[in-house]
Amino acid sequence: MSAEALEHAPHAVVDAHTYVAHQFEDRAQQNESYIVGMWTFLVTEIMFFGALFLAYTVYRSQYPTEVTAASQELSVGLGFVNTLILLTSSLTMAFGVRASILKQKRMQLVYIGATILLAFGFMGVKTIEYGSKFEHHLFPGPNFQWPPAHHGGSHGGEAHGAGGATAHGGGGEHSVSTTVPAPQAVMAPASAESSTEQEAFIPRFTPDEITKGRVQLYIGLYFIMTGLHGLHVLIGILVLGAIWLMIAFDHPAIQDFIPIELAGLYWHFVDIVWIFLYPLLYLIHPKPFW
């Protein structure tokens, strides 16, 4: 086909190496749209997760005692296994992008398939971890239990109170530090016109109950942050699965390495988010490995 004929040929019959989707005028516009679109998406994702990290930072600065207690319920070992899985998947994804640049179809299928399998492995480990939390009633809601049932009704022999104070058990009695602020002062509405009206709207909490609520908030942050990350892993599985099928059936849109490279960028972003989640949630306080 001559250059002039190639220029005016329908997109459907253009050679695979110069494939241009119908919504783009030329290859340069298509690649620019791919790259700008993906980086714009990643920036919005950074802002999205950034807000969650900010919420976690504020919570940890306000209630370090509850964070210390609740973080002990997370499995450092399972988190470490998932970290290794995701780091390995980043490596296989990078090899998959390299294979696409070199037009090595078989190696693309091998490496992208390995990335998908590792992603399923990550979700399997996360399912085990979540199952343990549900088993011990460590899930926000009406059935939330603190201290957990596997602690035999106590958590290290002490219950943590508000403001970093503790209530120590001894012979069935509790001695609460005088540094615990009065629950009434914390819960009092600013717009109350009289002390009588204030008392009518003030729930009466013991230090143990306040601690339970704050611990539940930490567990809620844990499920939100890791759950949203897990959702992104599932989306990555769908995207990479579609790409794997397109490679297997020689779809013209996937003959170029740009779409695979952009999928790799997304997958590396998912891995980077976990690299921040793991130390913040699992390693911030000393605890047993398993």
Instruction: Using alpha carbons, select from 73, 75, 71, 67 the residue that is nearest to residue 289.
Output: 75
Mean pLDDT of 69-83: 89
Q: Does residue 208 have a pLDDT over 60? A: no
pTM: 0.70
Q: Which residues pair with 159 in a beta bridge?
A: 167
Using pLDDT thresholds of 50, 70 and 90, give the confidence band for residue 244.
Answer: very high
Q: Does residue 268 have a pLDDT over 90? A: yes
* Whole-number average pLDDT of the chain: 76
99-152 residue pLDDT tens: 999 989 999 999 999 999 999 999 999 999 999 888 888 888 778 877 766 655
Mean pLDDT of 184-213: 49
Look at residue 248 and give its three-state secondary structure.
helix
Q: According to the model, what pLDDT value does residue 123 have?
A: 96
Q: According to the model, what pLDDT value does residue 119 have?
A: 97
Q: According to the model, what pLDDT value does residue 18 have?
A: 64
DSSP 4-23: HHHHHS-GGGS-GGG---TT
Q: According to the model, what pLDDT value does residue 161 have?
A: 40
What Rg, from alpha-carbon coordinates, does the chain have?
26
Mean pLDDT of 9-18: 44
Instruction: Using alpha carbons, select from 142, 192, 184, 140 the residue that is nearest to residue 162.
Output: 184
Q: How far is residue 23's CA from residue 121's CA, in Å, rounded to a whole number?
A: 37
Q: According to the model, what pLDDT value does residue 69 have?
A: 80
CATH among 1.20.120.80, 1.10.260.40, 1.25.40.80, 3.40.50.2300 for 44-152+208-290: 1.20.120.80
Domain range list for the chain: 44-152+208-290
**Burial of 159: CB neighbours in 10 Å, binned 0-12, 13-18, 19+:** buried
Hey, what's the torsion of the CAs at 227, 231, 234, 240, to 10 degrees? -130
**β pairing state of 173-176 and 158-160:** unpaired
